[in-house]
Amino acid sequence: MGDTIMVDAPIARTAADTIRLERVLDASVETLWRYLTQAGLRSQWFAGGDDIGGEGPLKLVFDHDKLSDGPVPTPEEYAAHRHGVNQEQVLRFEPQKVLAYTFGEGRNGVATFELFPEGGKTRLVLTHSGIQSPTGATGFGSGWNSHLIVLQEKLAGRSVPDFWALHTRSRAAVGKALAA
């Protein structure tokens, strides 16, 4: 069933330490903004923690076990990060337009989400700059790509049978896209 989810990788490396992903999502700007800022909705596709209502401290709580329909094993390479909590800083908060916060407790740059209305849909542009991790653009790109696919599926009223299988396919697609 997980094989029915299309995995492509609309991603570009815009600088040595920066990646950019774009999606046109079948949701209004208002709905998508809630999925970015409300912890309960954000936890369905990325990470829970604190609601975001302005600039300042932000706790992100990662529970990838909740991203799949049922129990799936966490790959060994990610086991140490299960149920991780990161203390971030919201650096930019322009309701229904731009949200930016530090990533990896500030050690791995800034993730910036920009929203643009397109009819009844929304173009989401995600730029992650300042990536310093050894996993680099491919590691962060495959993570973001996977999470954006989960968001796309949630907005369409569908679920993801196995997040980690999706992530494996996403890593291959991102690696290929960034190598081109």
Averaged pLDDT of the chain:
92
Rounded CA-CA distance 111/52 in Å is 14
Q: What pLDDT does 10 receive?
A: 85
Q: What pLDDT does 131 receive?
A: 93
Tabulate helix, strand, coil % of the chain (nearest 5). 35, 30, 35
Q: 66: helix, coil or strand? A: helix
Query: Can you list the domains of the chain with their CATH numbers?
Result: 2-179 (3.30.530.20)
Q: Which residue has the higher pLDDT, 33 or 78?
A: 33
Q: Indicate the pairing of strand 110-118 with strand 98-102.
A: antiparallel
Q: 72: helix, coil or strand? A: coil
The model carries a pTM of 0.93
Reported as a single tens digit per residue, the pLDDT across 121-179 is 999 999 999 998 767 888 999 999 999 999 999 999 999 999 999 999 999 999 888 88
In the numeric block, the tokens 């643009």 are attached to: 116
